[in-house]
A and B are shown apart, each in its own frame.
Chain A
Amino acid sequence: MEYVIEMLNITKDFPGIRANDDVTLRVKKGEIHALLGENGAGKSTLMSILFGLYRPNKGIIKVNGKEVQIDDPHVANDLGIGMVHQHFKLVENFTVTENIVLGSEPKKSFGRVDIEKATKKVSETSERYSLSVDPSSKIEDISVGMQQRVEILKMLYRDAEILIFDEPTAVLTPQEIDDLMDIMRMFAKEGKSIILITHKLKEILAVADTCTVLRRGKLVGTVDVADTNEKELAEMMVGREVFFQVDKPKREPGKKVVEIKGLTVKDNRKLKAVNNLSIDIYAGEILGLAGIDGNGQTELIEALTGLRKIESGKVVLNDVEISNYSIREITEAGIGHIPQDRHKFGLVLDFRLDENLVLQTYYQKPNSVRGILNQEAITKKAEQIIEEFDVRSGKGAETSARSMSGGNQQKAIIGREIDRSPAFLIAAQPTRGLDVGAIEYIHNRLVAEREKERAILLVSLELDEILNISDRIAVIYEGEIVGILDPEKTDEKEIGLMMSGSKRVGVANE
């Protein structure tokens, strides 16, 4: 069997860390090859090397049996290699077509860009693979799932035969994930080869033919997906047994911590996104909020945390109304927030890790005394969180947040929020991009917060996660709560029906 891609004995060093250590990856033509590994294991780095963004310190790369030097994405491009990055690289206020042709624009006379020709080719490609992307809409106006398709189109437009997907499903809704799987299968059938990075073992079992596992930069092995199972894969990557179910002692809910009453919030287009929504959350309870993306979850969270204006209704925390509080006052009153978009809200990427870990507490004792920063205290706090939440990076507290792996950035944010142990913690997609080992740990920490009588709102698109750790499940549809369920007495099917608006339970019909 011949290989389209051979990366042989690749080693890559970053300051303070060996991201890839003698790693070998071989991909056959027409296969879907999964790349699995813990957060910071070096997956993105390995793929960036293949795509010409980094150069390895050691090792050789062969494409179709011929040794090549890929020192720049243009070279990768010419070799037919395309990549969808973990964090998209699109220009927000450009149209889909403009983004796709960027860097290889078709030209008319005098070097003018032939945008009509480009648009035509883009829509043809889009139709051929039934991606249904509108070439003339602006990136900022389309959903994340669509943006990803734009990234995919970008590869196809450049006639890529080897497609790299770096955690494509982390940002997608379950439906979008299914669609993406179909698209990938279609590509493979056409003879394109796919390298897929994902932390979701189910996805690997569903689409991949082969799986290569990395741990702390080293190759653990390559297995045939047909001969393996979730448990074995998880063990290979983490190096120990992983429990997918959390142990959660039963407990009675305590006093009311949060009262949301008649809350109405508008979205960016000034349309009602949260509509007269009321719900209470109790001490020692994890309330799971299930819903299809775009049904008002984001606006609800932003209103609760002060990031978005409340049109009407009120929010009460521990008997104090906080509806008109500033963001800082809300934080100080005891609300923590693990944001959905870690790069927009969660981190200042150009700050060091320690600075990011005190992002809300930098001005308080002991981090600051009378307005003067106390670096010693900040370092100490940072090191404690890093240790506790196993945040891996090259240079510890001093690492620039930008250079950290996606999952470790996420762990840092979660660590920061849980460490403050707020009375009310809002966790939006907290385990997005985390490896199974880290998810297990985070789930346990959330349960531990619950034991400490905290109230937790878990917003997740993954029903597995909601069913696994919630005490109660609320389903949101078009900005309204359409049902409150007991996780013991319901299943994915029922929740699914409610999420699509076809069923209501335990709440008044309008």
Chain B
Amino acid sequence: MSRLKKLLMDESKYQITVPIIAILLSFLIGTLVMLFTGINPLGAFKALIRTMTGLNLEQMFTDKMFNMRYVGEFLTTAIPITLTGLSVAFAFRTGLFNIGAEGQLLVGATAATLASVLLDLPAFIHVPIVLLSATIAGAIWGMVPGYLKAKFNVHEVVVTIMMNYTALYFTNYVLKALPGSTLIKTVKSNPSGTLESDFLSSITNGSRLHWGIVVVALAIVAFWYIIEKTSFGFELRAVGFNPDASRYAGMKVNRNVMFSMMIAGAFAGLAGAMISVGTFDYGRVLVGFENYGFDGIAVALLGGNTAIGVMLSGLLFGGLKSAQPLMQANGVPMEIAKIISSLIILFVAMKYGFEMLLRNYAEKHEKEGK
């Protein structure tokens, strides 16, 4: 107990303790909501546990106790939102708000589909080309608001929102124009140009899990490395905190703004490939946004814009998202998962309030101790 108290009072650990408190509190309130509306909260927790670990608590010690397919599907859901999370977080670190991950993702997805449908190459060059196309497409989509910000000081939020709509209609047009496309989807990709993995699928009992999981892992490492270890990351962080001092120190603030948006766009573009040539093996014509971009904002916020944080929060939000069907099967409306996700964001946004409470608590505690 006193260990826990110490942890709670350690100011240097607020970055970790505050999000955890936010998560716990959200689950607590979610539980209360269920209790008050006459829903059995156990159903929700069982669904979440089953989604994230494959364990079926209702069928313990039978042959149905464990099913890896759930884990596979859960990871498949977590992959793109972790990447859009990295995208938003990267921009944040330079003091930019990337609302455009959605659009960057769409162009990335479409570029990946094009490269995979139109080309026919051996897999070991086809896959890299597909991924590269998605990355470049996303980077270009991110560069536009970056350039406008750097050159004309147009706010990136406005431009990225517009770019999202442009991306939606533009990609739909392109996808429909592909030979063989129907009104809702394109023809199947060449198998050599997808991330499909028989191996990953077989160890997860036939789930849709694909090589994208490796791509995400690499992206997380790349994010961490660029931000923390390179002199380029040093500049990005400096510009994000204090553009005036960065300029004084000789950094090219505008150029960094553009680079940062391009890299953010690249992460989101990659996320698009995860969907269009990972989860699916054809391009989808969409009626509206699927909100991967907004999920990315949530993931980045909870993850404190750090690589490790984004990874963990990507997993949590992925879990909450993919647990929804199972929840419904357990008699819990899937809105509950959404309520919990939203509460987490709400509480993380209130982090200064929590920090203040913790500080007050620590100070009181210390006084009484002496």
Contact = CB atoms under 8 A, between A and B. Distances in A.
A326 B248 CA distance: 11
Given A307-B247, A307-B248, A58 B230 contact: no
B231 A373 contact: yes
Nearest to A355: B234
B353 to A, nearest CB: 14
A56 B363 CA distance: 8
Nearest to A327: B250
Nearest to B232: A371
Interface residues of A, number: 33
Given A58-B370, A372-B230, A331 B250 contact: yes
A71 B360 CA distance: 9
Contacts of B245: 344-348, 359
Contacts of A71: 360
Contact of A351 (B241, B251, B370): B241
Interface in B341-364: 360, 363
Nearest to A359: B249
B237 interface: yes
B238 A359 contact: yes
B242 A348 contact: yes
A363 interface: yes
B12 interface: yes
Interface string A311-343: 000000000000000111011100001010000
Contact of B363 (A55, A332, A351, A362): A55
Interface residues of B, number: 27
A307 B244 CA distance: 9
B366 A57 contact: yes
B367 A57 contact: yes
B304 to A, nearest CB: 13
A362 B231 contact: yes
Interface string A80-118: 000000000000000000000000000000000000000
A257 B323 CA distance: 71
Contact of B244 (A344, A360, A372): A344
Interface string B231-266: 111110110011011111111100000000000000
B241 A348 contact: yes
Given A15-B12, A55-B363, A58-B370, A327 B247 contact: yes
A382 to B, nearest CB: 14
A345 B237 contact: no
A336 to B, nearest CB: 11
Residue picked from B235, B241, B249, B370, most chain A C-beta under 10 Å: B249
A492 interface: no
Q: Which of B12, B246, B250, B252 has the most CB of A within 10 A?
A: B250
A276 interface: no
B151 interface: no
A350 interface: yes
Contacts of A337: 248
A355 B244 CA distance: 16
A449 to B, nearest CB: 20
Contacts of B250: 326-328, 330-332, 360
Given A57-B366, A58-B370, A349-B242, A371 B248 contact: no
Contacts of A339: 248
A57 B365 CA distance: 10
A69 to B, nearest CB: 10
Contacts of B363: 55, 57
B5 interface: no
B244 to A, nearest CB: 5
A123 interface: no
A349 B241 CA distance: 8
B11 interface: yes
B234 A373 contact: yes
Nearest to A330: B250
A368 interface: yes
Contact of A327 (B237, B248, B366): B248
Nearest to B251: A328
B229 interface: yes
B366 A346 contact: no
Contacts of B242: 344, 347-350
B286 to A, nearest CB: 39
Contacts of A363: 231, 234-235
Contacts of A372: 229-231
Contacts of A15: 11-12
B229 A373 contact: yes
Nearest to A329: B250
A206 B220 CA distance: 61
A191 to B, nearest CB: 34
A372 B250 CA distance: 18
Which of B242, B244, B245, B366: most chain A Cβ within 10 A? B245
B212 to A, nearest CB: 28
Contacts of B235: 362-363
Interface in B197-249: 229-235, 237-238, 241-242, 244-249
Nearest to A350: B241
Contacts of B237: 351
Given A327-B247, A331-B250, A373 B241 contact: no
A367 B235 CA distance: 13
A58 B11 CA distance: 19
Contacts of A350: 241-242
A473 to B, nearest CB: 27
A351 B238 contact: yes
A350 B252 CA distance: 19
Given A58-B370, A373-B229, A348 B246 contact: yes
Most B Cβ at <10 Å: residue of A58, A337, A351: A351
A15 B242 CA distance: 25
A368 B230 CA distance: 8
A371 B231 CA distance: 5
Interface centre among B234, B247, B360, B367 (most CB of A within 10 A): B234
Contacts of A346: 245, 248
Contacts of A344: 242, 244-245
A307 B250 CA distance: 9
A157 B142 CA distance: 49
Nearest to A13: B366
Contacts of B367: 55, 57
Nearest to B228: A373
Contact of A345 (B11, B229, B248): B248
A305 B250 CA distance: 10
A55 B362 CA distance: 11
A106 to B, nearest CB: 27
A339 B246 CA distance: 13
A99 to B, nearest CB: 21
A57 B241 CA distance: 32
A72 to B, nearest CB: 10
A21 to B, nearest CB: 15
A57 to B, nearest CB: 6
B244 A371 contact: no
A228 B363 CA distance: 39
A477 B259 CA distance: 43
Nearest to B363: A55
Given A71-B360, A332-B250, 6 more contacts: A58-B370, A307-B248, A327-B249, A355-B238, A360-B249, A371-B232
Closest 7 pairs between A and B when the two form their complex, measured CB to CB: A328-B250, A345-B248, A368-B231, A363-B231, A359-B249, A350-B241, A348-B242
22 contacts: A15-B11, A15-B12, A55-B363, A57-B366, A57-B367, A58-B370, A327-B247, A327-B249, A328-B250, A331-B249, A332-B250, A339-B248, A345-B244, A346-B248, A347-B242, A350-B241, A350-B242, A359-B245, A371-B231, A372-B229, A372-B231, A373-B230
